Amino acid sequence: MSAVAALDARLLRVPLSRPWGPDVTSVGVIQTHLRRDDGAEGWGFAWTPQIGAEAVLALLRHDIAPAAVGRSAVPGAAWQGMWEHLHEAGGGGVTTIALAGLDLAIWDAEARAAAAPVSALLGRTRESVRAYGSGVNLHYDIDQLVAQTRRWIDRGFDAVKVKVGRPEVAEDLDRLRAVREQIGPDRELMIDANQRWDLDRATRSLEVLAAVGPAWIEEPLRADDIAGHVELARRLAGSARIPIAVGENLHTEHRFAEVLRSGAAQIVQPNVVRVGGITPFRRIAALASDAGVPVHPHLLPELSTQLALTLTDPAAEPWVEDVEDAGFGDLGALRDASPVEIAGGRARERDHVGLGLRFRAPDGEAESASRRL
């Protein structure tokens, strides 16, 4: 049985060609490099768009790497012990984001040693999955939003997602009506409030926005307000009838289990990095399948597509989110071609080994070798 011999990490800033706001012009990627005692190597990453990248890097270098050396490098075997080791610093959030850097590198090393993609190790259940066009667009005016919608249509998407949460719900309705006019009645329209509302405002807003037929409302309330989501789901079962989607800001399988038990959401969207990697993502997907709740992975299409292709629930085909001009391949952040392609509203894998996600070194910086920490 192989063991972890070394783990290293470095922080990269990937500039966004389409900023997500005046103060969000890049995203933080913490590239990890793992070496096993049998010589196999793997590359993973942690990710945080704006806040906490330096903290994630520090956790990886000073707490995760020393504790990982000597532990099993069999995928999934070390995850629980490492999570328990980090728990003093928090059960989720920065700790699980950092732990993803180790978990992804372990899976990558195993697949590279087998000269196969990770999806082959997990068991691919489909050849492609649905993809939808998405964007960080609450700050767009209607003309910009309509232009973005046209680009999504031109790329062949059958579904799109738009941010809501303007000061007045009438503004949101005007924007969504403009989008609906562009996409027509047969394409899906998802909406995302990014935790901006309280319970009463969410109720009032969704009674109005139901007019455009949203496929779901994402994060209408604070992510940790499970009781609020339960009550909102009860209220929406009446006139609005809009499914609630949560998960991008839930960090552990325990929180997902609580959401699923309580009926707080009808769709879950785990972010593979934020929950701690492939190992906990698979546990969460199994919980959702048992509860009869669809899983649509959040962001990171180059990674999410690979896992979505392995989901086993035949009745709930996943959606993969493609934020406009934000894919790592689109941004030129990868050493090699992207391991996935999205075209005609479908996401598929390209030929690759492992995860196929090694990041380019910044100009003037040589690739660093993994070192014992």
Query: Which residues are catalytically annotated?
Result: 163, 298
- For residue 63, give the DSSP letter: I
- For residue 87, give the DSSP letter: G
Distance CA 62, CA 302 (A): 28
SS3 218: strand
Structure tokens that stand for 130 in this block: 């649905």
317, with CB counted inside 10 A (0-12, 13-18, 19+), is: middle
Q: Considering only CA atoms, which of 50, 10, 16 is closest in space to residue 333? A: 16
Backbone angles phi, psi at 180, to 5 degrees: -60, -35
Q: How many helices (H) and strands (E) does the chain have?
A: 12, 12
SS3 241: coil
SS3 100: helix
Residue where the block lists tokens 């040693």: 113
Distance CA 291, CA 368 (A): 44
Treating both helix axes as pointing N-terminal to C-terminal, what angle do 253-262 and 278-291 enclose, rounded to 10 degrees? Answer: 10
Helix (H) or strand (E) holding 48, with range, is strand 41-48
SS3 359: strand
Residue where the block lists tokens 């071609």: 337
CA gyration radius for the chain? Answer: 20
- Map 276-342 to HEC letters: CCHHHHHHHHHHHHHHCCCECCCCCHHHHHHHHCCCCCCCCCCEEEEECCCCCCCCCCECCCCCEEE
Beta strands 346-349 and 129-134 are antiparallel
Helix (H) or strand (E) holding 282, with range, is helix 278-291
- For residue 367, give the DSSP letter: P
